[in-house]
Amino acid sequence: MDTSVPEPSLYIVKAILILDNDGNRLISKYYDDTYPTPKEQKAFEKSLFTKTHRANAEIIMLEGLTCVYRSNVDLFFYVIGSAQENELILVNVLNCFYDAVSQILRKNVEKRALMENLDGIFLAIDEVCDNGIILESDSSAISQKVSFRSDDIPLGEQTVAQVTHNASLSSLVLHSAKEQLKWSLLK
């Protein structure tokens, strides 16, 4: 009795995609050679969008692949795996990625906000998955790694509000240190 069960593999995710409400690619990350050329990728994305943009489900089988998806306002999020892949794992990756994006965009998950924060979204994809291997499934950890601290931004690129906020924090710290020094000398 020869039942050919595929070997277990860490390479679970074949692609992560974000399409707009017209089916146009905003972000795509393919991890294998299932669709090696941009032309084949675009054709797959068009077919995927056609099948999912009006459906209420969150999982479909398309071209021998398991596709889980989620939509919000004017964005469609997709995680693609092989036909043998566990759908629950793919849904977990999708939810983690979506929640991380939501935290990065401060719950304003729409096309304009996404386009303004593309660098952070690409970092989030890289934190979730590397070469098809799932690295992280905690959206809070991902958004913390991706979030930019204003201390790391060069002074010339900070807004006036950021500079004022940092200056007031520095002033507050300095005042607190003076007070502590004064009270330690008076004792």
pLDDT digits (tens, 9 = 90+) for 74-126: 899 999 999 888 899 999 999 999 999 999 888 888 888 888 888 889 999 99
Q: How confident is the model at residue 150 (pLDDT cuts 50, 70, 90)?
A: very low
- CA nearest to 11, candidates 95, 85, 96: 85
Residues 20 and 101 grouped into a single domain = yes
User: Across all residues in the chain, what is the average pLDDT?
Assistant: 83
* CB of 91 closer than 8 Å to CB of 59: yes
Residues 111 and 179 grouped into a single domain = no
Q: Does residue 3 form part of some domain?
A: no
Residue 78's pLDDT is: 95
Residues 37 and 115 grouped into a single domain = yes
Structural domain of 45: 13-146
Residue 100's pLDDT is: 92
Tell me the average pLDDT across 20-33: 92
CA 176, CA 187: separation in Å to the nearest integer? Answer: 17
Residues 74 and 158 grouped into a single domain = no
Residues 30 and 112 grouped into a single domain = yes
Residues 105 and 124 grouped into a single domain = yes
Q: Does residue 135 form part of some domain?
A: yes
Residues 107 and 43 grouped into a single domain = yes
Considering its fold, how many domains does the chain have in total? 2
Q: How confident is the model at residue 180 (pLDDT cuts 50, 70, 90)?
A: confident
Q: Does residue 176 form part of some domain?
A: yes
Residue 167's pLDDT is: 62
CA 43 to each of CA 24, 37, 46, 75, 152: distance values in angstroms, whole numbers, following the listed order: 11, 10, 5, 18, 41
Q: Does residue 5 form part of some domain?
A: no
